[in-house]
Structure 1
């Protein structure tokens, strides 16, 4: 009898390690439309996060991003012969970016040679991947049809909006860089002549770059004026053709986030992890609401508030780890790709063109039961991940950019989030370190507040996990995996075949060779 049970488990192992049964997670399965939406998302996040210390890396990355955007623009079908009025803005932007790249090459004055910005590089890579996908499948798009034509216009609008947001982010960074220079000069007793246009802080050496980037920003804005909302309203939506997509995306995310945390502490990776966990919490609230509307879940008074509190805690923790991330820090590519797929999989379920779909609309979408169970499992798993992240706050060698650490330390001390110093007002970071843009050891107030935020996040995530487990059970989902229950009940001589995926009996996703990338209107969406 014992021998037979071991054989049953051996059969399970054979299935688990069969390459045709393991879902492939190393390839980007997003559509072009989802990639363009992610370009918009990444550019918005960049705009919210930029600081003066990012100005030089952003400036160096700008020409390459414009080149990638022009490449994607040129690959879209339905291009007319000759110079099209519709293409003039991207052509102008490309010419402007080329002159910026020429000015930067071999330049010893600021910003000089150096690294590019990894976040803009991520946007650039997404644009290049989308262009390759369009070139591969673009001939199949029936662009003479009205719906496809409008979808192509929406794609061009997305491209230009991503450029507009990024150009504005570069300008914001240049402005902040000039402001930091003015404040540093005043602190050292030097007089500074403020600028008379754009901004008082558009001083040398950043002033000339503010002028040039403002031209790029205005060029992109001219294309978007009076047509942004109308163009995106006609954007095609990829149907839910794989009910197990969200479950697969979340499973891969859990793997990649743990792998990243098991290595050396990289604040940029932890920032992405905490930010994505906050996104998972927000999207879970939407799916839970729709599942209750559809009768998939029983209404629960504690579930949504618990998830909301966990989301707020994750977002607060993300802002703190963001301060620790040095300028130019690069993300692990598998982690970034897994986060992008999570965003795309959730949006496919929760959005309708440019807006959040109503619970009534989401309730009619195929795959909602699987998505609901998957998102509840992700909330359950978030408790353990929060404890892993909290451990990183206790690391003895944490460092961060001097300027960000100085601001955060004073703010936390004034807000009472850390133990007040007995010696009164304290300079937590040396002005020399700030001026030299050094990485410094995390000051005591910042470390204390980071630990408190980590503890609060772990507590909130645990409460949300408990509510999710209860809702999962009441909603008909078994908290115990189906294949494990079947193995427990195996009888001598039984040949047990487990469910082929975590989606409770749903078929496995296709391997890389069998991935179906076809969208509703050609391959674009």
Structure 2
């Protein structure tokens, strides 16, 4: 079911070959359940990454996300007329978020006016897309039947769990923001009064915002208490109705990554690319294990370790690019949509509701051989992508948030990952830049370890590509016609001679 209403190829005439007006050929074909699971995934990622510098952008984004969630909740079929106790938590959340939005409107004190969080905005848009699907096709759902009723309860639970995780992430960011302010004041020799409730770092004006977000978090938690696991047990899984879905998702992902990397450098895009490559490696290991269980692939002592090392390298590189992405950085929509479809296509094969399916269950699903071959092709082609990403680490104008880069520089030197300065302890980033939350050039230790992580990723992906080539059927191997030249940094770079062709739209 398509939710993207932008023009397709047939609607384009003179703009067809304008590189700035390339039409999107792959629309969002995820089900509502897949969208809700992705919100859950994005919220968990946000919770793991959150820091104090992002508190303002997260807080400004929160009311809009709640409004989108309420809109989706209201669109679900089977809603009872009048006041429904089941709807009271989302109504309460919406009212709480509305008061926060009113308080933020026109505010000059912290957090003031400014950008929103692209990560929460992405979840908000996913809720809106899901609501559009439900409104279009919800009348076809036999909500009075037990299975459909349980699936709708699971959908409500998914919505509320995504809000709960996001509220907790905003709360953590606010707490960390207060801690950063206390540490900055102490470093400058200033006295500061600690708070007497919640946390000693919930100082004004952060403490008031912590109170209000905590109320929202508690509202969501009260709905989920003693309900989460039971409700999700009734969730319906989308059957594997298109064996070629993963292959098409990965082909579109390859196209969108190269388009994004060919444009102006955006650290948020590179962060998404490196994280998704790590996800592809992890999911590929699951598919390889299932294929070996099914007898579709010969077991090997080299294949899974090589893919695992690739995943570790991509994840390490992602954590370093994450330090460079400012809180308000934006993502390219086609790239974000392609990554979401990759996650959904993998989960359709590898998961059983909330848990990873066993190798035997995965092996019994249709399309495993096609999915496994597509995944291995993505691993095989990853070495070229690693080189392109590594080029970005050599850009002379790279910048990042002062506080994150200061921490990374000191940690890398202390861990022995970067060359220690001859003069001893060095202040790599000015305290004034940290206090003002400026974007600053990369300190030498950060630049050094970013290049080292890029080189390690090239080595790991090249080794994995060689191992995968041996295990791929001859008719499935990526052609080896490439040009190899040496970059100014001394790396061997691999440049493909041919470009990928966009797959046909899967929109229905």
Report the 3-state secondary structure (helix = DSSP H, G, I; strand = E; otherwise coil) of the residue aligned with 1:347. helix
- Counterpart residue number, 1:183: 183
Q: 2-side partners of 1:109 and 1:24: how far apart? A: 41
* Structure 1 residue 26, shift from structure 2 partner: 3.1
Is 1:478 the counterpart of 2:476? The answer is: yes
- Counterpart residue number, 1:297: 297
CA displacement 1:329-358 (0-9 Å, x = unmatched): 000000000000000000001000100000
- Counterpart residue number, 1:452: 452
Q: Contact between 2:323 and 2:404, CA under 8 Å: does it hold in 1?
A: yes
Which moves more between the two structures, 103-112 or 340-349? 103-112
Q: 1-side partners of 2:145 and 2:54: how far apart? A: 44
Q: 2-side partners of 1:45 and 1:480: how far apart? A: 32
Q: Contact between 2:27 and 2:505, CA under 8 Å: does it hold in 1?
A: no
Q: Contact between 2:373 and 2:476, CA under 8 Å: does it hold in 1?
A: no
- Counterpart residue number, 1:214: 214
* Residue correspondences, number: 467
Which moves more between the two structures, 128-137 or 291-300? 291-300
Report the 3-state secondary structure (helix = DSSP H, G, I; strand = E; otherwise coil) of the residue aligned with 2:427. coil
Report the 3-state secondary structure (helix = DSSP H, G, I; strand = E; otherwise coil) of the residue aligned with 1:440. strand
Is 1:263 the counterpart of 2:263? The answer is: yes
Q: 2-side partners of 1:509 and 1:146: how far apart? A: 37
Report the 3-state secondary structure (helix = DSSP H, G, I; strand = E; otherwise coil) of the residue aligned with 2:216. helix
* Structure 1 residue 146, shift from structure 2 partner: 0.5
- TM-score under structure 2 normalisation? 0.90
* Structure 1 residue 470, shift from structure 2 partner: 1.0
- Counterpart residue number, 1:352: 352
* Structure 1 residue 188, shift from structure 2 partner: 0.7
Considering Cα pairs closer than 8 Å and 6+ residues apart, tell me whether 1 or 2 has the greater RCO.
1
Q: 1-side partners of 2:448 and 2:24: how far apart? A: 41
- Counterpart residue number, 1:485: none
* Structure 1 residue 478, shift from structure 2 partner: 3.3
Q: Contact between 1:57 and 1:328, CA under 8 Å: does it hold in 2?
A: yes
- Counterpart residue number, 1:35: 35
From the superposition, tell whether residues 426 and 296 of structure 1 become closer, same or farther in structure 2 (CA, over 3 Å).
Answer: same
Q: 1-side partners of 2:231 and 2:210: how far apart? A: 30
CA displacement 1:421-448 (0-9 Å, x = unmatched): 0000000000011111111110000010
- TM-score under structure 1 normalisation? 0.87
* Structure 1 residue 131, shift from structure 2 partner: 0.1
Pairs within 5 Å for 1:91-110 = 91-110=91-110
Pairs within 5 Å for 1:401-412 = 401-412=401-412
* Structure 1 residue 262, shift from structure 2 partner: 1.0
Q: 2-side partners of 1:342 and 1:188: how far apart? A: 47
Report the 3-state secondary structure (helix = DSSP H, G, I; strand = E; otherwise coil) of the residue aligned with 2:472. helix
Q: 2-side partners of 1:286 and 1:139: how far apart? A: 37
Which moves more between the two structures, 32-41 or 105-114? 105-114
CA displacement 1:134-156 (0-9 Å, x = unmatched): 00000000111100000000000
Q: 2-side partners of 1:63 and 1:48: how far apart? A: 21
- Counterpart residue number, 1:251: 251
**Superposition RMSD on alpha carbons, in Å?**
1.7
- Counterpart residue number, 1:311: 311
